[in-house]
């Protein structure tokens, strides 16, 4: 007898009751906006080392703004990166796991206040799995041509994914993935961890192609059948490209499409900084356009703030009235 295995995940839980799952906004650039210096190869992982309470406060502020999930400060946190800072492997794994515990503590603090539960589903913690390019800290997550094999990329990601899962992550946020080969490596690794689901989110270079050049529609089509890929989408990409990318991808998947763009500024890897101007006048208002194009999960990436997420959440909560929870 064939038995179908269904993987329940926190995305399904929220989308069963709400038209849109609200993802949080930027972490690293929000910490910079609050006065923290992140100009180094660890980025927000530097604050994980030095001022974890600042990260917890940002997570809390996003929950308070209406986010249904927090993405942990592990995007650029790797064993290899922490070793370069003089930590041993055990200490590095402990710090990676700390990112999950910090986000969970913020969620639990927020949820403990009864008034915060009105019209809300319980938020969840998505553990960030950044690309190999984030470890390189040279902007390669917006290019993707590392010259590494699928097997080498699996070896790179395996230890961090294991650490995040063991720390209690409810879902893996595999994000800013620039190439199909890295996406395939991550998806193959999911088979080694049968009790976790993940979303897979690419960076894109235009309104049709991910950063390395493959059509986004092809990536969605090739990943559609994996049972523990809970959602597919785009992040840290200009808002100008998002609607076209949603339309290109949604025709090949029954999974939720997620989008959390940056503000549209350019990233200068030589200065570890963003420059230029925001691509849209009101980031929060653009969420309506992305929803109409087919997105079911919407948030923000670099340079977005709790106020941007508050605008998105207010619109979502008012769309059909707040469902009772």
DSSP 8-class letter at 122: P
Confidence class for position 278, pLDDT limits 50, 70, 90? low
Mean pLDDT, to the nearest integer, of 67-72?
Answer: 98
Confidence class for position 84, pLDDT limits 50, 70, 90? confident
**115-121 contacts, C-beta under 8 A, 24 or more apart:** 116/63, 116/64, 117/325, 118/322, 119/317, 119/322, 119/323, 119/324, 119/325, 120/68, 120/322, 120/325, 121/13, 121/14, 121/17, 121/18, 121/68, 121/325
Per-chain mean pLDDT for the chain: 89
Which region among 91-100, 247-256, 260-269 has the lowest average model confidence (pLDDT)? 260-269
Confidence class for position 42, pLDDT limits 50, 70, 90? low
What pTM was estimated for this model as a whole?
0.91
**CB neighbour burial string for 130-154, b if at least 16 within 10 angstroms, e if fewer:** bbbbbbbbeebbbbbebebeeeebb
pLDDT score recorded for residue 322: 45
CATH class of the region 10-319: alpha beta
pLDDT score recorded for residue 321: 59
pLDDT score recorded for residue 183: 97
β 297-298/198-202 pair status: unpaired
Mean pLDDT, to the nearest integer, of 261-265?
Answer: 82
Largest CA distance in the chain: 60
Instruction: Say whether pLDDT at 160 is over 60.
Output: yes
Instruction: Say whether pLDDT at 324 is over 50.
Output: no
pLDDT score recorded for residue 266: 62
Q: Which residues contact 168 (CB under 8 A, 6 or more apart)?
A: 100, 101, 104, 125
Mean pLDDT, to the nearest integer, of 216-232?
Answer: 97
Instruction: Say whether pLDDT at 8 is over 90.
Output: no
Per-domain residue ranges of the chain: 10-319
Q: What is the dihedral sign for C-alpha 106, 171, 309, 278?
A: positive
Mean pLDDT, to the nearest integer, of 171-182?
Answer: 97
pLDDT greater at residue 57 or residue 145: 57
Lookup: tokens for 56:
């917890």
Q: What percent of the chain has pLDDT over 70?
A: 88
Contact 25/53 with Cβ under 8 angstroms?
A: no
Instruction: Say whether pLDDT at 323 is over 60.
Output: no
pLDDT greater at residue 265 or residue 37: 37
Contact 68/22 with Cβ under 8 angstroms?
A: yes
Lateral strand order in the sheet of 257-260: 21-22, 297-298, 257-260, 229-235, 198-202, 171-177, 124-129, 69-71
Mean pLDDT, to the nearest integer, of 131-159?
Answer: 90
pLDDT score recorded for residue 274: 52
User: At CA 243, angle to CA 239 and CA 244, rounded to 5?
Assistant: 110
Tell which phi-psi region holds residue 60, choosing left (phi > 0), alpha (psi between -120 and 50) or beta: alpha
Contact 252/227 with Cβ under 8 angstroms?
A: no
DSSP-assigned beta bridge partners for residue 210: 204
């Amino acid at each position: 007898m064939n038995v179908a295995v269904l993987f329940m995940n926190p995305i399904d839980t929220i989308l069963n009751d709400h038209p849109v799952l609200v993802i949080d906004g930027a972490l690293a650039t929000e910490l910079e906006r609050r006065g923290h210096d992140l100009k180094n190869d660890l980025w927000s992982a530097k604050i994980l080392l030095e001022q974890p309470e600042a990260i917890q406060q940002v997570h809390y502020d996003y929950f308070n703004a209406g986010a249904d999930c927090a993405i942990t400060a592990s995007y650029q946190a790797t064993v290899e990166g922490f070793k370069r800072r003089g930590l041993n492997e055990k200490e590095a794994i402990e710090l990676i796991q700390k990112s999950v515990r910090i986000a969970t503590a913020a969620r639990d603090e927020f949820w403990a206040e009864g008034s915060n539960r009105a019209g809300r589903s319980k938020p969840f913690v998505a553990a960030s799995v950044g690309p190999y390019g984030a470890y390189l800290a040279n902007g390669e997550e917006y290019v993707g041509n590392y010259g590494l094999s699928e097997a080498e990329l699996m070896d790179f990601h395996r230890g961090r994914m294991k650490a995040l899962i063991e720390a209690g992550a409810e879902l893996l946020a595999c994000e800013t993935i620039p190439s199909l080969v890295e996406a395939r490596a991550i998806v193959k690794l999911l088979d080694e961890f049968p009790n976790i689901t993940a979303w897979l989110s690419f960076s894109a270079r235009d309104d049709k192609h991910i950063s390395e050049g493959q059509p986004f529609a092809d990536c969605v089509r090739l990943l559609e059948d994996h049972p523990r890929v809970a959602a597919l989408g785009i992040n840290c990409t200009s808002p100008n490209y998002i609607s076209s990318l949603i339309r290109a991808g949604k025709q090949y998947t029954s999974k939720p499409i997620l989008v959390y763009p940056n503000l549209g500024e350019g990233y200068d890897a030589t200065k570890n900084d963003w420059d230029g101007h925001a691509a849209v006048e009101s980031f929060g208002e653009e969420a309506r356009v992305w929803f109409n194009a087919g997105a079911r999960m919407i948030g923000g990436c670099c340079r977005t703030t709790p106020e941007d997420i508050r605008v998105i959440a207010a619109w979502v909560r008012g769309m059909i009235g707040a469902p009772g929870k």
